């Protein structure tokens, strides 16, 4: 049965994938404006330059030729040159940012889901108590704060007034690091504000979902029975948590799928190197090769993460079995 499930899922994944590949090509080009003239406008370039750029980037070729070139670039892994950052390659641009994105997004995924789930379990377990009220209310309040404002405040208070954390960047500019340990510490030090900002604004959704799921589970008969049997609270809690974790794990899987997409606002506010800002810039400047590569990458990870989440359910919750319908 599992084999049938895998096959049908894989088929679906492939269909989705091909639609994405097509949209990937069409959508950026459907936006008005062409990359060369946008750059010309921004940097006051003479008409000769624009003509040169257009022919260099083959923008003067017919669309179908561009499409075949695009397919070729995707499947050979030769992503070509970025338009905006010409003659730097797309691969180079993405790769110098991807590790930073994975680091930031990885850590925030951990902190957001970790904090959110723990808070949700506490609130759900002690439903109606002061603990529940304070956790829920504070979560909603923090959730309601606009992210960029919170980030700017953190920068201002901790970076400018108290000067305990750096305002921006991923490492101290111009500081030679004596060894790897120092380098890692410097990196973590720079991560403090971005991670705090993201965590504070994003954990609430996990908290609320986990709490509600927890409350539902606690209403169920097996918990009643467990309590009636006189099992210690710890054991009861363990059973409840295990059943309540499904929804937040789904959320986490979706989040992990987007991990390579970066975080535009965080990267902008904290001048953190990452893929998100690159994608944002590429949209503004119609940097087709970068957009194609980034969305391609994003599509693959999202599909893979969702696929993994489906499989993971079965592991977390033994009751879930994939069977053929009908």
Partner 1 sequence: MVVALTISLSLLGPYTNTTVAQEVVLKLGMPDQIDNFNPLIGLFAAAGYIRGMLYDTLLYISANGTYIPWLAESYSVDSEKLLLRFRIRPGAYWHDGRPITASDVEFTFNLVVASNYSDKLDKWGLRKYIEYVKAIDDRTVEFKLKEPYAPALFYIGALIPPLPKHIWSEVDPTTFKNMDNPVGSGPFKFLKYTPGVSIELVANENYYRGRPKNDRLVVVLYKSTDALMLDLQAGNIDAITATTVAPELVPVLLRDPNIRIVELTYTASLRFIGFNNDRYPFSIREFREAIAYAIDKEAIVRIVMLGYGYPAADGWVQPLFGTWYNPSVGYRRQNLTKAAEILDKLGFVDRDGDGIRETPNGTVLRFKILTISGLAEFERSAELVAGWLKRIGIDASIEAQALGTVDQREGVGDFDIGFMGIGMSITTDLDYYLYERFHSSQAYPLGTYAGRNWFRYRNPELDILLELQRSTLDPERRREIIWKIQEIVARDIPALTIYMKTALVAYRTERFTGWVESEGPTSKISILNLSPRKPEVVTIITQVPVVTTVPVTQVREVTQVVGGTTVIMTQTEVRVGTLTVSETPPQPRGISTETLTLLAVLLVVFIGAIAFLATKRR
78-117 footprint of partner 1 as x/- string (CB under 8 A): ---x--xxxxx-------xx-xx-xx--xx--x-------
Q: Does the footprint of partner 1 cover residue 249 (CB under 8 A)?
A: no
Sign of the dihedral defined by the CA atoms of residues 286, 52, 22, 89, in that order: negative
Closest distance between partner 1 and the C-beta of residue 249, in Å? 14
Task: Tell me which of 2, 26, 27, 41 binds partner 1, using CB under 8 A.
Answer: 41
172-201 footprint of partner 1 as x/- string (CB under 8 A): xxxxxxxxx-xxxxxx-x--x---------
Residue 44 or residue 325: which is nearer to partner 1 going by CB?
44
Residues 154-173 that bind partner 1 (CB under 8 A): 155-156, 159-160, 163-173
Q: Does the footprint of partner 1 cover residue 147 (CB under 8 A)?
A: no
Residues 266-305 that bind partner 1 (CB under 8 A): 267-274, 277, 284-286
Instruction: Return all residues near 237 (Cβ < 8 A) that are at least 6 apart.
Output: 121, 125
- Beta strand segments in 1-140, E: none
Q: At what angle do helices 63-76 and 2-30 cross, to 10 degrees?
A: 140
CA-to-CA distance for 201 and 127, rounded, in angstroms?
A: 23
Residue 25 or residue 190: which is nearer to partner 1 going by CB?
190
Distances (CA, A) of 263 to 8, 226, 231, 280, 304: 33, 44, 45, 10, 20
Sign of the dihedral defined by the CA atoms of residues 196, 200, 206, 211, in that order: positive
124-143 footprint of partner 1 as x/- string (CB under 8 A): -xx--x-x------------
- Point out which span in 45-53, 204-212, 299-307, 308-316 binds partner 1 (CB under 8 A): 45-53
Phi, psi of 298 (to 5 degrees): -60, -45
DSSP annotation of 81 reads B
């Amino acid at each position: 049965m599992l084999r049938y499930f895998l096959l049908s899922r894989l088929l679906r994944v492939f269909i989705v994938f091909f639609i994405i590949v097509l949209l990937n090509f069409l959508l950026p080009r459907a936006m008005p404006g062409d990359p060369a003239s946008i750059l010309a406008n921004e940097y006051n370039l003479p008409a000769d330059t624009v003509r040169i750029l257009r022919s260099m980037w083959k923008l003067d070729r017919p669309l179908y030729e561009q499409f075949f070139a695009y397919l070729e670039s995707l499947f050979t892994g030769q992503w070509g040159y970025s338009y905006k950052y010409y003659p730097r390659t797309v691969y180079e641009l993405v790769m110098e940012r991807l590790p930073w994105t994975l680091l930031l997004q990885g850590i925030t995924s951990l902190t957001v889901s970790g904090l959110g789930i723990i808070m949700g379990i506490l609130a759900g377990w002690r439903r109606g108590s002061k603990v529940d009220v304070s956790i829920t209310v504070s979560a909603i309040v923090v959730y309601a704060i606009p992210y960029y404002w919170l980030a700017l405040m953190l920068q201002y208070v901790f970076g400018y007034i108290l000067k305990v954390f750096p305002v921006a960047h991923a490492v101290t500019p111009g500081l030679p690091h004596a060894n790897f340990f120092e380098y890692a510490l410097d990196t973590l030090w720079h991560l403090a504000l971005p991670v705090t900002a993201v965590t504070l604004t994003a954990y609430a959704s996990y908290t609320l979902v986990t709490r509600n799921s927890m409350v539902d589970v606690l209403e169920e008969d097996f918990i009643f029975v467990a309590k009636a049997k006189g099992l210690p609270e710890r054991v009861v809690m363990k059973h409840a948590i295990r059943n309540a974790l499904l929804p937040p794990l789904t959320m986490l899987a979706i989040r992990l799928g987007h991990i390579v997409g970066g975080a535009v606002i965080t990267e902008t506010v904290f001048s953190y190197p990452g893929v998100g800002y690159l994608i944002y810039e590429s949209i503004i400047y119609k940097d087709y090769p970068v957009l194609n590569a980034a969305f391609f990458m994003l599509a693959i990870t999202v599909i893979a993460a969702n696929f993994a989440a489906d499989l993971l359910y079965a592991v977390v919750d033994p009751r879930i079995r994939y069977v053929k319908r009908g």
